[in-house]
Amino acid sequence: MSRRHEHRGAVVLLSGGMDSATTLAIALGESRPVHALTFLYGQRHHREVRSARALARHYHLRSHEVVRLPVAGLLPSALTDPHRRLPTARAGRGRIPATYVPARNTVLLALALGYAEARGLDRIYVGANAIDYSGYPDCRPEYFRAFERLAALATRDGVEEEWRPKIVTPLLRKSKADIVRLGETLGVPWALTWACYAGGRRPCGRCDACLLRAKGFAEARVRDPLTPATARP
Amino acid sequence: MSRRHEHRGAVVLLSGGMDSATTLAIALGESRPVHALTFLYGQRHHREVRSARALARHYHLRSHEVVRLPVAGLLPSALTDPHRRLPTARAGRGRIPATYVPARNTVLLALALGYAEARGLDRIYVGANAIDYSGYPDCRPEYFRAFERLAALATRDGVEEEWRPKIVTPLLRKSKADIVRLGETLGVPWALTWACYAGGRRPCGRCDACLLRAKGFAEARVRDPLTPATARP
């Protein structure tokens, strides 16, 4: 299904979490070459970046760029501000949690779009999720469709040549348990991935990201190698 | 026309050029407070940033942030790569010049969108120009309309509260001469602005940006204070 048109390679937004790791595994099955981009935008910790680097090595990617964006002051969030408390329980539906970073996905997709255009890659893979998501507006399916429409106008497509980038979101309508099951079939190395917002040596087990991850593994009846045996139900 | 709705302030993308300076003057007549953002994305020189700082001081802006984005490697262009030659004559219609930075406006607008959302500002002013422009795809009117549609989906509008950012492009359909005439009526301090891609102590007079600026001033029959008297026609 992925080779109907002449296909010129992909870039994957690789945060180092389980969703982006699964998305990377999917991209590698559909596209060659695969490049990855990891952005440091002032997250509280760099634990995820270590995971991203480990995943890039594991999969022998063509290239993996880690880019530091000094935008924490511009785009304030509990995720980037050490003085704000992280939420310890999931926000209710219809509320945006404190970990929301304003316009984050638009910033990261825009950079991936420029990277893809400069290299003639025609797919941008993003591991966004609209089912068990954390209430972020820029994870909605209609958001990604709007970005794809923008991308066609933002770039040289239609001016100089035919180059129409696709935004590929293979996990958009999957539950965390679906993602765990899919990742298992693809052999995703879960031990290399990271979810916890707190970013200590071990996952905190209490933040939104830890709770979502634990729920996914529990429902899929898969053991999470990052969870200590005593903490499992 | 600009005060139909409750209006909560603006952010202006301020490069330091004559278009963004004129746009800033327009924003100050329509919106309060006005914030400005200047991005360093690996341009060959910082001369423009000095102009942006001087303009922000001149207009006593509420705030002006200069943000360095280390993305020259991601988004290659003759504008950011010292090893590539700058174009010395205008590219023909239908060709994108070497100074095009892939997805630049999408990256800068995305950052301005996040900045605006975090501060509840509902207008983003951009001095883009689709008439005497340099052939960049992301200066087309339909591009900005698509970004505005994206912005409504990318942010908390419709999830938590009504906050719908407008992308304001007052110069989009004006010629350079129109811009010079408009700037004159608004008292834009041309001597503080900068156009030249080369970025020496004086404008080079040969690059696309210098030629466009000279054409605008000549057609408007206004003296450009940056041009030495001997170089004028």
Domain spans of chain A, in order of start: 10-231
Q: Looking at residue B102, what is its pLDDT?
A: 85
A37, B103: Cβ pair inside 8 Å? no
B16 band by pLDDT with thresholds 50, 70 and 90? very high
As a whole number, the mean pLDDT across chain B is 84
CA dihedral angle for residue A99, residue A105, residue A107, residue A113, rounded to 10 degrees: 160
Architecture of domain A10-231: 3-Layer(aba) Sandwich (3.40)
pLDDT recorded at residue B132? 63
User: Mean pLDDT throughout B142-154?
Assistant: 92
DSSP alpha helix (H) spans, A120-220 = 141-154, 176-186, 208-220
Q: What is the pTM of this model?
A: 0.88
Q: How far apart are CA B69 and CA A75, in angstroms?
A: 14
The pLDDT of residue A39 is: 93
* Residue pLDDT, tens place only, B37-91: 999 887 756 788 999 999 999 999 989 999 989 888 888 776 666 666 555 444 4
Buried-state track A18-46, b at ≥16 Cβ within 10 A, e below 16: bbbbbbbbbbbebbeebbbbbbbbbbbee
The CA distance from A165 to the nearest CA of chain B, in Å, is: 12
Q: Establish whether the linkage from the previous residue to A33 is cis, with ω within 30° of 0.
A: yes
CATH of region B10-227:
3.40.50.620
A86: which 2 tokens?
Answer: 């992280």
Helices (H), ranges, B59-168: 104-119, 141-154
- The answer for A23, left when phi > 0, alpha when psi is -120 to 50, beta otherwise, is alpha
d(CA B109, CA B87): 26
Give the residue carrying structure tokens 């009846």. A221
Is residue A114 within 8 A of residue A151, CB to CB? The reply is no
Q: Which of A105, A159, A167, A169 to mutate to test the interface with B (most CBs of B within 10 A)?
A: A159
Over the stretch A217-228, which tens digit does the pLDDT of each residue have?
A: 999 999 999 886
Average pLDDT over residues A84-92: 52
B98-138: per-residue pLDDT in tens? 777 888 999 999 999 999 998 989 999 999 988 765 578 88
- Name residues 37-96 of chain B within 8 A of A (Cβ): 37, 65, 67-71, 73-76, 94-96
Q: Find chain B residues with C-beta within 8 A of A148's C-beta.
A: none
Choice between B222 and A201, residue whose per-residue pLDDT is larger: B222
Taking CB atoms and an 8 Å limit, are B103 and A138 in contact across chains? no
**Average pLDDT in the B95-99 region?**
70
Residue among A67, A84, A153, A161 with most chain B CBs within 10 A, to mutate: A153
Tokens of residue A147, six digits: 């970005």
Cα dihedral B51/B55/B58/B62 (nearest 10): -130
In whole angstroms, give the CA distance from residue B68 to residue A103. 18
Neighbours of B30 (CB within 10 A): 16
Please report where in the chains the tokens 């941008």 appear, as a residue.
Answer: A124
Under 8 Å between Cβ of A115 and B104: no
- Residue A196, pLDDT above cutoff 80: yes
Contacts of A151 in chain B (CB under 8 A): 106
A130-175 per-position pLDDT tens digit? 876 557 888 889 999 999 999 988 877 655 567 788 999 999 999 9
